[in-house]
Amino acid sequence: MSISAIVLSLTLFLFDVPSPLSLNVTTTDQEAPVVCKAKGSARAPAFSLEGDYIIGGVFSIHYYMHTFIHNYTSKPEPVRCTGSVDSRELRFARAMVFAIEEINNSSALLPGVTVGYQIHDSCASVPVAVQAAFQLVNGLAPEYYPDQRCSQSGMVMGIVGESGSTPSISMSRVAGSFNIPQVSHFATCACLSDKEQYPSFFRTIPSDKFQADALVRLVKQFGWTWIGTVYSDSDYGNNGMASFLSAARREGICVEYSEAFYRTYSHSRIQRVAQVIRRSTATVVVAFAASGDMRILLEQLCQEPVPYRQWVGSEAWVTDPDLLRFSSCVGALGLGIQQSVIPGLKEFLLELPFSTVSASALLSKFWEEAFKCRMPTSQVQYNVKHNCTNAGPDDTLCDGSEDLMNLESPYLDTSQLRITNMVYKAVYAIAHAIHNALCQNTTNQCDKFIPLQSAQVSHLKTPCLYLLMSLYYFSQAHFLGFLPGSCSAKESQFLSEWVQCVV
Ligand SMILES: *[C@@H]1O[C@H](CO)[C@@H](O)[C@H](O)[C@H]1NC(C)=O
Ligand SMILES: *[C@@H]1O[C@H](CO)[C@@H](O)[C@H](O)[C@H]1NC(C)=O
Ligand SMILES: *[C@@H]1O[C@H](CO)[C@@H](O)[C@H](O)[C@H]1NC(C)=O
Ligand SMILES: *[C@@H]1O[C@H](CO)[C@@H](O)[C@H](O)[C@H]1NC(C)=O
Ligand SMILES: *[C@@H]1O[C@H](CO)[C@@H](O)[C@H](O)[C@H]1NC(C)=O
Ligand SMILES: CC(=O)N[C@H]1CO[C@H](CO)[C@@H](O)[C@@H]1O
């Protein structure tokens, strides 16, 4: 039995999420229809658009879930997100909106059909991701009457997400029960390839099975036989590091230490991991970690004395432009999936009128952090600035004169588009599935009055989604160096064999 299933049942218990399991079914008399009511209140999606068919999306936009101490004497507060906004994840969410707009504009794909979306912020946490999954399955209506079982499966045709493996696993338990296809752009845990456990889970990114081996090959190629390792204490980090360590052992690489950490760990635990790195003799550290976790550790390590280490990273963090601000403490080498170009995306990202920003709590938060000002609508208390971060608005008021064009933010960094392209592909995969189900017999008009079950979509489109996966294998991956200075002759030679050295 996996941990995530246990977490799921605890979650249902603690957070009172609206779910098919917690509906209050009442029949008043024989004639009256069954009334199905969701218990608890719905959480509004971060972004949404009406349409004939809805595609759900879940991204880790905030870094944390707000945690509170349960006293078990009153109803718990609804779950919510806190911390700063991961602007790369915001880009992923906006890229999904962009893809759907393109599909709506297209006369070849789903002609005459509008595709809508409901995009949620899971703040990289299991309880919020599960709640989002239930809402995508049930819809947001507080009452509905579809049948005696209160099952309204098929609110969404498919779900794009989650970014992390652990929330993806939890969501797949919900979406899978209703046969709703879930297509992740970034969940790479090899464990998710198990079709028996995750029958409706697909992804547009390769499994870590390949990545662990490739990282070992990389380390070995440089002759680094004495290394330290750190990893996220999550399905992604635990599974990835386990594969890495077993491959490393086979190749005769010695590991001085192997430390797990996680963004919600106490300050002292993170500090302890930093101390292990400072005191170690291994100058190479391999990190199989999510970007949100890595950021916490690097913040700790950029305090004096800074331990200069050669970092080797998994692609979850090594291609995150946000981590470039730690350049004084990090020179990382790792694997990334192929970069790409999405025409029109940059313009779309730049098109954020101030009225749109003010109307969205999430965009307001992003705006405040990006421009270090306070929105007129803001009620949030801000923390004093950390030394290594640039987050936290001061007291000037945002007034719309802020200029996105001149903003340096991972949100606007479209120079590489690796994972963003996987989001884009995931949206298209689901749209093509719907198209094939609706538009088989007609060339220019689809019959949107055909009642469509989402199970039908995953049924029809399974081969297509598999095909997307098989497009990605590691010969396409390439090395990315964030090394300050230039590569040594040996490194350059090795790197040029694979692809190129980016300094
Ligand atoms: C179910 O709903 C009815 C009417 O809305 C209410 O009286 C009853 O207390 C509810 N039961 C539970 C277990 O919540
Ligand atoms: C329990 O927590 C709730 C909300 O956090 C609070 O309103 C309530 O007073 C607490 N009860 C006790 C007995 O501490
Ligand atoms: C969709 O079409 C509208 C109107 O022609 C245009 O303004 C918009 O940029 C298009 N969106 C995309 C993503 O192509
Ligand atoms: C942050 O930096 C300032 C000087 O730039 C220093 O005085 C302060 O102690 C630092 N705070 C922490 C938490 O390291
Ligand atoms: C397409 O046409 C065939 C035969 O004419 C029919 O059986 C089938 O239901 C149609 N499918 C759709 C999606 O209209
Ligand atoms: C070309 C086209 O059909 N565009 C539609 C895309 O979706 C939006 C929002 O529903 C519509 O307003 C457009 O007409």
| CA proximity to 453, closest of 91, 73, 180 | 180
What is the pLDDT at residue 481?
35
Determine the 3-state secondary structure of 332 from DSSP.
strand
**Which has more confidence, 286 or 37?**
286
Is 74 near ligand 2, meaning CB less than 6 Å away? yes
Contacts of 465 (CB under 8 A, 6+ apart): 181, 183, 202, 429, 433
pLDDT at 472 over 80: no
| CA proximity to 268, closest of 239, 240, 296 | 296
pLDDT at 457 over 90: no
* pLDDT (mean) for 101-126: 93
Contact 56, 71 (CB under 8 A): no
Atom number in ligand 5 closest to CA 441: 1
Contact 204, 422 (CB under 8 A): yes
Query: Could you read off the pLDDT of 52-91 as tens digits, one per residue?
Result: 889 999 999 999 898 888 888 988 888 889 889 999 999 9
Q: Give the chain's mean pLDDT.
A: 78
- What single string gives the DSSP state of each residue in 183-250? EESS---GGGG-TTT-TTEEESS--HHHHHHHHHHHHHHTT--EEEEEEESSHHHHHHHHHHHHHHHH
Atom number in ligand 2 closest to CA 71: 1
User: Tokens 């995530």 map to which residue?
Assistant: 4
Determine the 3-state secondary structure of 43 from DSSP.
coil
Which residue has the CA at smallest separation from atom 11 of ligand 2? 73
Alpha helices (H) along 115-206: 126-138, 165-177
Q: Which of 49, 102, 114 to mutate to test the pocket of ligand 6 (most atoms within 8 A of CB)?
A: 114
Most confident of 147-151, 269-273, 318-322, 431-435: 269-273
* pLDDT (mean) for 494-499: 37
| CA proximity to 410, closest of 382, 385, 391 | 391
Find the range with the poorest average confidence among 87-96, 164-173, 433-442. Answer: 433-442
Angle between helices 291-301 and 267-279 (to 10 degrees): 70
* pLDDT (mean) for 483-488: 36
What is the pLDDT at residue 454?
63
* pLDDT (mean) for 463-469: 28
Which helix (H) or strand (E) segment holds residue 96: the answer is helix 87-105
Is 104 near ligand 6, meaning CB less than 6 Å away? yes
Find the range with the poorest average confidence among 307-316, 409-418, 486-495. Answer: 486-495
Looking at all shown ligands, the one closest to residue 387's CA atom is 4
**Which has more confidence, 353 or 393?**
353
Is 27 near ligand 1, meaning CB less than 6 Å away? no
| Distance (Å) from CA 114 to ligand 6 centroid | 6
Q: How confident is the model at residue 373 (pLDDT cuts 50, 70, 90)?
A: confident
Phi, psi dihedrals of residue 309, rounded to the nearest 5°: -135, 155
Query: How far is Cα 89 from Cα 95, in angstroms, rounded to an integer?
Result: 10
pLDDT at 491 over 60: no
Query: Could you read off the pLDDT of 232-242 as tens digits, one per residue?
Result: 999 999 999 99
* pLDDT (mean) for 4-13: 34
Q: Which two tokens stand for residue 189?
A: 């845990």
Peptide bond preceding 305: is omega within 30 degrees of 0, i.e. cis? Answer: yes
Residues of the chain above pLDDT 90, percent:
38
**Which has more confidence, 298 or 478?**
298
Peptide bond preceding 162: is omega within 30 degrees of 0, i.e. cis? Answer: yes
Atom number in ligand 5 closest to CA 438: 13
| Distance (Å) from CA 36 to ligand 1 centroid | 11
Q: Which domains does the chain have, with CATH numbers?
A: 3-206+414-470 (3.40.50.2300), 209-336+474-498 (3.40.50.2300), 351-411 (no CATH)
Contact 317, 290 (CB under 8 A): yes
What is the pLDDT at residue 498?
38
| Distance (Å) from CA 451 to ligand 5 centroid | 13
Which residue has the CA at smallest separation from atom 9 of ligand 1? 24
Query: How far is Cα 159 from Cα 56, in angstroms, rounded to an integer?
Result: 4
Contact 146, 36 (CB under 8 A): yes
| Distance (Å) from CA 73 to ligand 2 centroid | 7
| Distance (Å) from CA 489 to ligand 4 centroid | 38
Is 107 near ligand 3, meaning CB less than 6 Å away? no
| Distance (Å) from CA 14 to ligand 2 centroid | 15
Query: How far is Cα 395 from Cα 374, in angstroms, rounded to an integer?
Result: 6
Query: Could you read off the pLDDT of 435-454 as tens digits, one per residue?
Result: 877 887 656 677 776 666 66
Q: How confident is the model at residue 190 (pLDDT cuts 50, 70, 90)?
A: confident
The pTM score is: 0.78
pLDDT at 485 over 50: no
| CA proximity to 444, closest of 130, 111, 43 | 111
Determine the 3-state secondary structure of 457 from DSSP.
helix
Query: How far is Cα 391 from Cα 292, in angstroms, rounded to an integer?
Result: 14
Most confident of 103-117, 198-212, 376-390: 103-117
* pLDDT (mean) for 458-462: 43
Query: Could you read off the pLDDT of 218-258 as tens digits, one per residue?
Result: 888 778 899 999 999 999 999 999 999 999 999 999 999 99
Which residue has the CA at smallest separation from atom 5 of ligand 3? 105
What is the pLDDT at residue 163?
94
Which residue has the CA at smallest separation from atom 4 of ligand 1? 26
* pLDDT (mean) for 340-356: 94
Residues of the chain above pLDDT 70, percent:
74
Which residue has the CA at smallest separation from atom 2 of ligand 5? 441
What is the pLDDT at residue 443?
60
What is the pLDDT at residue 145?
62
Is 440 near ligand 1, meaning CB less than 6 Å away? no
* pLDDT (mean) for 366-391: 66
